Amino acid sequence: MYNTHIISPMKNGFGQALAELGEKNKNIVCLGTDITKSVGMNFFKDKFPDRFFSLGIAEQNTASVAAGLALSGKIPVFSTYAVFSSMRSADQIRVSICYNNLHVIIGGAHAGISVGPDGATHQALEDIAVMRSLPNMTVLSPCDENQTKLATISAIKQIDGPCYIRYGREPVPNFTDPDDNFIVGKAKLLRKGKDISIIATGSMVYTALMVADELEKIGISASVLNIHTIKPIDSEAIIKVAQKTKKIVSLEEHQIFGGLGSAVAEVLSQNYPVKLKIIGMPDCFGESGNPEELLKKYGLDPKSIFEKIINFINN
């Protein structure tokens, strides 16, 4: 059903979308923070060097410059590691970008524990919580290269205000349809089930599909809902799967507080309370290591998630 043979980094989708959009809209400008290729912005830089501005390792200044460019009629895009773009620049994003409701696209690259060797300081595990709490901010969390490209295009075309796009570092299966109809705020039901629903975001979406396959082998039918838009979240889709299965598991490469799980809990508690298990980073910092080893240590590998779901169902 899904193409699992192509492994590629999400940053390629981000960068390719910007390069394509740049041809059609000359108001799009990109700001670099000394790690242009690492976050995929080299695609735009190579094509439109006169509309790319390198501001060095100065993330707070970059957010402020982006606000100024937006006020001047441009559509600025800047990206750096998510720990810096979402948290080091939080004050400038809040006051200069969100308060003025400016159309600025913020790329949060290298998100999650799977950043690996860069260690705790570079593993963005709180960025969803920070960004979704800001008024006027849209938060997108695509699951592979294709969807990251569609999310970036949608951030330019479907949104008028600020938008944060979260994507990881490691290459992941590129399994979604490149021509899919991506609508901001509308989740994608990737698999129908009747016993339990797995609501996932980002790189954990493919993991959720793998776990659902294993559950099916022991007679457990699982739905998989891809939440590519954390804010505004698709309450209707969440309520619908909750009504069907009565049990929900949320899955994310983020702290268990303030992220997807919290957003799902907010929807369910106010509309259709059911049993909910939030799976994510267990309120701790990460560490340096191989991405696969780190996912296993912190219980975010397919086997660990499978076992947690079985315990949740049995209890």
Place 2 in a pLDDT band, splitting at 50, 70 and 90. Answer: low
d(CA 201, CA 197): 13
Strand bridging mode 75-81 / 52-54 = unpaired
pLDDT in tens, 250-289: 999 999 999 999 999 999 999 999 999 999 999 999 999 9
Give me the helices (H) in 75-203, please: 82, 90-92, 127-132, 145-157
Write down all domains in the chain, each with its CATH number in brackets.
7-173 (3.40.50.970), 188-314 (3.40.50.920)
Question: Tell me, what amino acid is at 169?
Answer: R
Question: How many other β-carbons are positioned within 10 Å of the β-carbon of residue 235?
Answer: 18
pLDDT, mean of residues 196-209: 98
DSSP 8-state class, residue 136: T
| Rg value, the chain, Cα | 19
Is residue 3 predicted with pLDDT exceeding 90? no
- Close Cβ partners of 53 (under 8 Å, ≥ 6 residues apart): 29, 30, 31, 32, 65
d(CA 152, CA 164): 10
- Close Cβ partners of 202 (under 8 Å, ≥ 6 residues apart): 111, 112, 141, 142, 143, 166, 167, 168, 252, 253
Element (H, E) at 8: strand 7-8
At 309 the pLDDT is: 98
pLDDT in tens, 58-107: 999 999 999 999 999 999 999 999 999 999 999 999 999 999 999 999 99
Q: How many helices and strands, by DSSP H and E, does the chain display?
A: 12, 14
Give me the helices (H) in the chain, please: 10-24, 42-47, 59-71, 82, 90-92, 127-132, 145-157, 204-217, 235-245, 260-271, 291-297, 302-314
d(CA 246, CA 194): 9
Torsion of CA 305, 309, 312, 315, to 10 degrees: -120
Q: Residues for the chain: how many in total? A: 315
pTM for this entry? 0.96
d(CA 39, CA 168): 9
pLDDT, mean of residues 175-201: 97
At 160 the pLDDT is: 95
CB 72 within 8 A of CB 27: no
Place 1 in a pLDDT band, splitting at 50, 70 and 90. Answer: very low
List beta partners, residue 105: 77, 163
Cα torsion 179, 76, 9, 127: sign:
negative
